[in-house]
Structure 1
Amino acid sequence: MIRFSVALVAALGLAACDSGGGNPLVGGTDPTDPTDPTDPGTTDDVLRQNLNSISVPDGSTVLVNMKSLDGTPLEVTFVRRPALDTNGYEAYSIQEDPLDRMFVALTKSSTDGTTRAAIVQDGGQFNRYLAGGFYEQTGRYTPPTVGSGAGQGQVSYAGNYAGITNISTTLGAGLLPIPGGVDPTTLPQLPGEAFRVSALIFLNANFADNTVNGEIYNRDLINPADLSVASRQPNLELIVTDIDPTTGQFAGDVEIIGDIGVKSGDYGGVFGGSGASSVSGVVALSNFNNNIDDEEEVGVFVLTQCGQAGDSVLCDIVQP
């Protein structure tokens, strides 16, 4: 297995974001710079990383604009790859030739279509990988009605989480093969296919005090060579943070379970729909296992509020 560091372009390009502002999950129009920093379509830069924009899937393709090296033109067509689907999130991919990076996008919309989110990452090459995420609120948003008693303003969300790590292998089943007869000693470092993560996620949100927290748990690291579970990773705690009462946006810190006060990454997202019927967001991790060095991950979650149509089985034991 190989590990790469996030590309320097992520650190240098985020402050300017000359082509990456506005509504990041676009439906056929170019993104524009945001005029309001609290716009619910604006993903926090630390979560956006190298991803400028990604279109709404049309069933077979998505259009992706990365800051670097995914292909040409600037907005590149990723094709549907069902074999790479992860925990209910649809996969799209591009690799132009066996010596180019292999990028994978994972995307999903909420059951009621009020929020959606996506992540994109390659498997790394030449000591760097490129990654990023977006989330979006669609239509109008209203918070739940706050009253007295269970389920009156304090609500839960449960469902699946998917991630892509900077741990990769050149033996990934999704990679384009090197043609037969090529002398391996003449090849540069080959691109890798990233190990993915399949997990569960649970959030509690209180709209009386406008705060949210939760956990990502049962985190299985998936080997792209054969789709086997390589290992179980530690649970991650989504530390309590504020919800913007107007936009439904939030952003907070991530910690490994038991490592109190030790930041491992960031999470953020947005509630959407009537009564905050759904929530979508992105996670960016700089550390997710104290027994591994230099590991990183970008992850995505799209969840239905407990008590709504299409909610998780786990919701049967909570007050909506």
Structure 2
Amino acid sequence: MRPYFVALATFVVLSACGGSDAVFGTNPGDGGGGENPTNPIVPEPIAGSITSIAYDPDAQTLVVRGTGLDDVEFTDVYARKPSLDRPGYDAYAAQDGSLTRHFTAFVREIDGVYGAVIGSGVQFNTVIQGTQFGRDGIYVAPTTLPNGGVVTYAGNYIGVVNGNGSAEDLLPVTPGTDPSVLPGQVAEVTGDILINAGFGDTQNQVDGIIYNRRIIDFDQEIQDLSLRPTEITANGGFEGTVMTPDLRDVGEYAGLFSSQGATAVAGAIHAEDHIDAYDNEIEYGTFVLGVCGGANADPICTQPRP
């Protein structure tokens, strides 16, 4: 996929408005649940320029494969960057030289399910960005369900947008180098996400919301994004539409559940023209969440009636 072009002048400047070496990628398959079900496809609009990743959380290694300029395939080995970590997600980065693109990746794995978002900063008015998610193990839908069959998942969201943010991880350049040739470091979006999923014959759907959203490099609060209800397949996968508070459809989301009893969920989003304060914005993001009541439950799960 070709990289996205960036209207840098309008995007970066605010307007006057308000544990295994798992490889996962765009692999085909829509098998049923049970032991080692086939991973659903990561839809092309959500995958963006990234075709697969190989992630080992124990060894802290990350290899990213994708397509860059003029659809040229690339494979990059990323280095662990704890200083760039965001809540819930480990950071990795790659930059070959002072005058080449800088890439940042955010990754998480729990209960055999994985999610990653990867983005370059702007160089020559283009970016290379995308996501991946996948599952390394079983998926079996829950059989004993509270609340009429609805289960809640919650935690942190992380995304990237097609603009430059902070520059603390860029390689040094010779003083006086023309800024027109310099690469940037990608701007990041943080937030919280809550997903409700109904399992069984009568409710087999998922929906949710990404809220408390902020472009942290600009200290800018931005609009929530809702995940419209969509069907959960027999394989534990789902694909749906992203919308803004004014009910505009602005992108897509997809993901999959994992483990015995669906104790975790991972997925990703792609959205465009969805932030009032900016023009020509494009966002990719990922989420990896534990089920409320499980070992990876988020603090919001503590409710009077769970």
Q: Which amino acid aligns with 2:244?
A: I
Give me the whole-angstrom Cα distance separating, in 2, the residues matched to 1:114 and 1:93. 23
Q: How does 1:255-274 map to 2 (within 5 A)?
A: 255-257=243-245, 259-260=246-247, 262-274=248-260
Query: TM-score of the superposition, structure 1-length normalised?
Result: 0.80
Are 2:223 and 1:237 equivalent residues in the alignment? no
Give me the whole-angstrom Cα distance separating, in 2, the residues matched to 1:284 and 1:134. 11
Q: Which amino acid aligns with 2:221?
A: R
For 2:131, the equivalent position in structure 1 comes to 133
Are 2:98 and 1:98 equivalent residues in the alignment? yes
Over the aligned positions, Cα root-mean-square deviation in angstroms equals: 2.5
Q: How does 1:88-237 map to 2 (within 5 A)?
A: 88-110=88-110, 113-145=111-143, 150-169=146-165, 172-180=167-175, 183-185=176-178, 188-208=180-200, 209-223=203-217, 230-237=219-226
**When the two structures are aligned, how many residues end up with a matched partner?**
280
CA change 1:202–1:33 in 2 (3 A) is: closer
Conserved 8 A contact 1:146-1:207: no
Give me the whole-angstrom Cα distance separating, in 2, the residues matched to 1:32 and 1:65. 9
- Indicate the SS of the match to 1:47: helix
Superposition deviation, residue 108 in structure 1: 0.2
Q: Which amino acid aligns with 1:50?
A: S
Superposition deviation, residue 75 in structure 1: 2.6
Give me the whole-angstrom Cα distance separating, in 2, the residues matched to 1:277 and 1:157. 9
Superposition deviation, residue 196 in structure 1: 0.7
Superposition deviation, residue 189 in structure 1: 2.9
Deviation track 1:170-198 (CA, whole Å, cap 9, x = no partner) reads: x6111112123xx434x643211111111
CA change 1:37–1:140 in 2 (3 A) is: closer
CA change 1:44–1:32 in 2 (3 A) is: closer
Structure 2 gaps, min length 5: 6-19, 32-37
Superposition deviation, residue 61 in structure 1: 2.6
Superposition deviation, residue 74 in structure 1: 3.8
CA change 1:143–1:65 in 2 (3 A) is: same
Are 2:302 and 1:309 equivalent residues in the alignment? no
- Indicate the SS of the match to 1:184: coil
Give me the whole-angstrom Cα distance separating, in 2, the residues matched to 1:193 and 1:297. 15
Q: Percent identity, please.
A: 31
Find the partner of 1:288 among 274, 277, 282.
274
Give me the whole-angstrom Cα distance separating, in 1, the residues matched to 2:250 and 2:305. 30
Conserved 8 A contact 1:197-1:222: yes
For 1:77, the equivalent position in structure 2 comes to 77
Conserved 8 A contact 1:265-1:287: no
Structure 1 gaps, min length 5: 1-5, 10-25, 224-228
- Indicate the SS of the match to 2:174: coil
Query: TM-score of the superposition, structure 2-length normalised?
Result: 0.84
Conserved 8 A contact 2:197-2:204: yes
Give me the whole-angstrom Cα distance separating, in 1, the residues matched to 2:238 and 2:222. 25
